[in-house]
A and B are shown apart, each in its own frame.
Chain A
Amino acid sequence: MTSATMLEPASPAGPGSPAGPAPYRSTVTTGLSPARVARSEWIKLRTLRSTWITLGAIFAVLVAAGLFAAAATGSDSSSGAAQGPGLGGDPVSTVLTGANLAVLVVAVLGAVIGAREHVSGMVRVTMAAVPSRLPVLWGRLIAFSAALVPVVVVGVLVAYVGGTAVLDANGADTASFSDTGVARAVLGTAGYLFGIGLLGTALGTVLRSTAGAIGVVIGGVLILPSLAGALLPDSWSSVLQYLPSNAGTAFTQVSAGSDYLSPAVGACVFAAWVVVAVAGAAAALVRRDV
């Protein structure tokens, strides 16, 4: 980094054109790179307190809800099997109950990250610094991933280990990490949360409105499928199983059942939704005036 001040006369940058003084050459000699833009986005993300509060909330919800659900299952249960509304039917979905709530917080965080600069007007400063624009989206997704992935992975693991310990102490059924589908469901839940975060960022980028993006992710992606499943005839289930949340259920449950895709197909379908949304965000970002 140079320490030259702005008011020092420019050193001769070469032969001046006859028409006027030699054009000024910046003392900054480094240029744009994807890594530098990602670093810029990382600085933006980590220097807002709301990022850390929201990430903390995601972790807290995952762990606390898992522990409470496990405690409730153990003490309520006379038969040993998990029950109670919304707590799922198996030990893994009991200890990962927090994911149902955490997914809302993740969606909000993603939407805010995607839409924030469009709302504040900061986007014009950002895009003036990176006029090719796409590196901003990639950098933002990388920075968000770097913050979100550790939180959701550690979050589901702590919820699983802690919740299982509580279930065990209460004498309820537990699931071993080595049991079929357990590791996949636990880590799949982290992957699902991560994907919803990216989906929120993509929609925030397209809609340029925090409220709009939150509405679409929570309403369209998370609520609509269950609403449609309840209202539409059963013959529609072969279509509904491709919706993002139903595809997510396919790989976040130890055994989701016959209404859902296989875990591998479900993961691919869910990933495809995320890729399509991000591609849409990229197209919107490049084409539209900011």
Chain B
Amino acid sequence: MIEMHQLSKRYGDVLAVDSFDVTIRPGVVTGFLGPNGAGKSTTMRMVLGLDTPTSGSVLVNGRPYRDSPAPITEIGALLEAKSLDKGRSARNHLLALGATVGVGASRVDHLLELVGLGDVAHKSAGSFSLGMGQRLGVATALLGDPAVVMLDEPVNGLDPDGILWIRTFLPALAAEGRTVLLSSHLMSEMELTAQHLVVVGRGRLLADVSMAGFIAGATTDRVRISSPDAGRLRELLSGPGVTFTSETRGELVVQGIPVARIGECAAQNRLVLHALVPLVPSLEEAYRALTEDSVQYHGGTGWTVGIGVPAPARPALVP
């Protein structure tokens, strides 16, 4: 369990983390989602005691992490995969860190096999690819068999096998009663792995909500219609509050009419439908709706966004 109370960090003029009040609970994979520069890594560093909060506090399993009598058995973290001394072998890297709480060679060797680095255990970690570095980072995080596992962008640079492995492995860790916090800016990855979401943008907490609730909260009543009589349907469906957001030949995307009404309308007028699909928003769309105003490094559009507070697109999501 990680508890943040009004957690804030200021670097000069930039408020990197602004009053986070979040509890990361055991038993589920919590996704920590936000664009680059949103404050995810800074928050994780404060959880680990690497950065001192400007104000507020954070507790790991009920106490400040610096006071932990057995640190890596409480929280295991992967921050930056390539942050290690290049000349040391993967195995010796793990042996050195494990020694801090008396973890020895048998567990180190077990973990190297688990993350698929058994064959290169004696190779210099500096020669590793980014993907291998991520695997070593995951092994490092698991070294103390910790109650809290915190991974910063673990799939970054990982090969497809590794991504698939992370996808099944993290929920398994959570099912054992561990707290699992996974940060990413890749929404597709989150959708497959996380059950709960903490969304941040420009240092602000935007949402703390279940994955299902997050997507439902962004629901739009858009329906895709595929029909040889699309033109006729469009005429029949037109009315106040109804928009046609995209159309190609034989296809319509309608917003503002319940899907049942569209079906009834087609039946009454004896029009052929090839498809009638309610469009469920993806995590990506939900996320875009939420962070549109809080993207710090916005590309291309030439307009500055997010001056002041992020637009409270869905204030109900933040408890």
Contacts of A31 in B (CB 8 A): 69-70, 73, 101-102
Offer 6 A-B interface pairs, CB within 8 angstroms, sorted by A: A2-B145, A23-B61, A24-B178, A26-B73, A131-B71, A289-B45
Task: Specify the main secondary structure of chain A where it touches its partner.
Answer: loop
Interface string of A28-55 (1 = CB under 8 A from B): 1011100011011101100111100000
Contacts of A22 in B (CB 8 A): 177
Partner of A36, one of B27, B83, B99, B142: B99
Q: How far is the CA of A150 from the CA of B111 in the complex (A)?
A: 36
Tell me if B96 counts as interface (CB < 8 A to partner A). Answer: yes
In the complex, the answer to whether B100 meets A36 with C-beta atoms within 8 Å is: yes
Partner of B65, one of A20, A40, A131: A131
Stretch of A98-106, A113-121, A178-186 contacting B (4+ beta carbons < 8 Å): A113-121
Q: How far is the CA of A289 from the CA of B16 in the complex (A)?
A: 14
CB nearest to A44 among chain B residues:
B96
Using CB atoms and an 8 Å cutoff, list the residues of chain B in contact with chain A. Answer: 1, 25-27, 45, 48-52, 61, 65-75, 77, 79-80, 82-89, 92, 95-104, 106-107, 110-111, 114, 140, 142, 144-147, 169, 172-173, 175-179
Please give the distance in Å from A9's CB to the nearest CB on chain B.
Answer: 6
Contacts of A49 in B (CB 8 A): 87
Q: How far is the CA of A267 from the CA of B70 in the complex (A)?
A: 39
- Chain A-chain B contacts (Cβ-Cβ < 8 Å), number: 168
CB nearest to A25 among chain B residues:
B147
CB nearest to A38 among chain B residues:
B99
In the complex, the answer to whether A128 meets B102 with C-beta atoms within 8 Å is: no
Q: How far is the CA of A6 from the CA of B146 in the complex (A)?
A: 10
Contacts of B52 in A (CB 8 A): 289
CB nearest to A46 among chain B residues:
B92
Q: How far is the CA of A4 from the CA of B200 in the complex (A)?
A: 36
Using CB atoms and an 8 Å cutoff, list the residues of chain A in contact with chain B. Answer: 1-7, 9-10, 13, 19-28, 30-32, 36-37, 39-41, 43-44, 47-50, 116-117, 120-122, 124-133, 289-290
Beyond A121-B84, A131-B65, 9 additional pairs, beta carbon < 8 A = A9-B176, A28-B101, A32-B68, A32-B71, A37-B99, A120-B85, A122-B83, A122-B84, A129-B97
Contacts of B101 in A (CB 8 A): 28, 30-32, 36, 129
Q: How far is the CA of A107 from the CA of B89 in the complex (A)?
A: 26
In the complex, the answer to whether A125 meets B84 with C-beta atoms within 8 Å is: yes
